[in-house]
Structure 1
Amino acid sequence: MGAAPQAPRTRVTARARDLRFDAGSLSLNLVATVGRRPVGPVERMGDAERLAAWCSGVGLTPAPGYEAEALLRSLHALRDAAYDIASSLLDGHRPSPASVDLVNGLAARETPAVRLELTPAGVRPAPGGDLLTEDALLSVVARDLIGLVSDASRRERLTMCASAVCRMLYLNPASGRARQWCSMRRCGNNAKAAAHRRRRAATAEG
């Protein structure tokens, strides 16, 4: 009788907890703050420090005085809804009405108008124009997801990492070869190494 297939390796390393900013869209970068969803979810944005790092990494600046714990809870809820909706584009399941309502409700909130100011040196963006209230920050992410769902070309580029452990959602590049892995340096190299081990094991058994 042949040996049972090995389960995917699920050891949680520091790298597995790394924030990812390479999913190709703001909302998918939020989804990627949970790693390894199919085999044992890894929380990558679980405290105020990680929240600040994520906001910095995606280019969003919360206005001073924001409540980190409240914003984290809201982003986690939006993250779950975004995953439900985005993954439905790939596997055809029907997203929860609660997910759709949450995204629509957040997207309807107002974001600050971008302003310019005239200085002796010329025109420039008005200071503070990039500062976002909690509502505005959530709205920006929700609108990005709606933009993804609404754009046929982006929907066609949406894919899921081929790694049975990872399954990260990401957008393939608009031009060039489609990627099988979320990152060749991460899952691609892991897959190559695993295939090499299997070949060596098969040769040894033979």
Structure 2
Amino acid sequence: MNLDHVFVCGHPALDFAATLRARRSTRFEMFVTPERLNAWYLKSGLVDAITPADGQDVREAQALRESLYRLITNRRLGEEFDREALAVVNGAARKVPVTPQLTVAGRHNEATPGQALATVARQAVELLSGADAPLLKECGNPECTRIYIDRSRGMRRQWCGMESCGNKIKAAAYRARKRTAAPA
């Protein structure tokens, strides 16, 4: 599976929750090392520079991610929030977040992994309590478990992203139609 971090969900907290991929089948972990965690924080644009993470930072990020996924799923399905997951997310959101600084070159966000994690938790609180919460959908690819914000006209979007899932599903459907239409 591709080791690149992908940002197709429409919100940083959703992209963070999607770092454990294919939850129903192969379960592919993106945060396998502290370096991979830091790479996510940098590629997401959450920070411009980050102090090195360690194993404890990875475990905390994974715990927050799983709690976020539980709450996002609860919201999407119209269920009551899981109390344990709420405690994890709210606990992380109470910590010191990334603090932007103004430099002669412009805005600069330098943080610790803990500050970056607190920022993700705060973004999740805003998402799950905000106007975009009713727009949450799960990708239509049975192998994908990403949840995204569907802002399409008529809420007809089916996949987390065309490049990641949509093209695969459309190509498979095309091949199936061609096989069915082939002369016997």
| TM-score class, shorter | 0.7 to 0.9
Q: Which residue of 2 aligns with 1:32?
A: 18
Aligned to 1:164, which of 124, 142, 145? 142
Confirm or deny: 8 A CA contact 2:74 2:82 kept in the other structure: no
Number of the residue aligned with 2:8:
22
What do residues 147-178 of structure 1 show as CA deviations (whole Å, max 9, x unaligned)? 001112x1122111101111311112377864
| Separation in 1, partners of 2:44, 2:154 | 24
Q: For 2:129 and 2:181, how far apart are their aligned partners in 1?
A: 50
Per-residue deviation, 1:63: 4.3
Residue of structure 2 in register with 1:142 after alignment: 121
Displacement of 1:112 after TM fit? 5.5
Match 1:76 to one of 62, 76, 97: 62
> Which of 62, 75, 92 is residue 106 of structure 1 equivalent to?
92
- Which residue does the alignment assign to 2:178? 200
Q: 1:45 to 1:135 in 2, by over 3 A?
A: closer
1:10-32 deviations in Å (ceiling 9; x for gaps): xxx3x3x4311121111111111
Q: How far, CA to CA, are the matches of 1:113 and 1:141 in structure 2?
A: 13
Which entry has the higher C-alpha Rg, 1 or 2? 1
Contact 2:99 2:110 in 1 (8 A): no
Say which SS state the counterpart of residue 181 (structure 1) adopts: coil
Cα offsets for 1:47-91 (capped at 9, x unmatched): 123222211111233643x44211111110000000000011222
- Are 2:21 and 2:146, in contact at CA under 8 Å, matched by a contact in 1? yes
Provide closer, same or farther for how the CA distance between residues 88 and 205 of structure 1 changes in structure 2, counting only shifts above 3 A.
farther
Q: Post-superposition shift, 1:111?
A: 2.8
Q: Secondary structure at the match of 2:75?
A: helix
Q: Give 1:87's aligned residue.
A: 73
Closer, same or farther: CA 95–198 of 1 in aligned 2, 3 Å: same
Change (3 A) 1:109 1:184: same
| Aligned residues between the structures | 183
Distance 2:144 2:129 in 1: 26
What pairs up with 1:22-61 in 2 under 5 angstroms?
22-61=8-47
TM-superposition CA deviations, 1:117-154 (whole Å, max 9, x none): 7x7xxx955xxx622233322210101000001112x1
Q: Which runs of 5+ in 2 are unaligned?
A: none
Alpha-carbon contact 1:63-1:132 (below 8 Å) kept: yes
Corresponding letter in the other structure for 1:184: M
Worse-superposed segment, 134-143 or 171-180: 171-180
Give the fraction of aligned pairs with identical amino acids, expressed as a percent. 30
Q: Shift in Å at residue 196 of structure 1?
A: 1.8
SS in 1 for 2:148: strand
- 1:26 is aligned with what amino acid? P
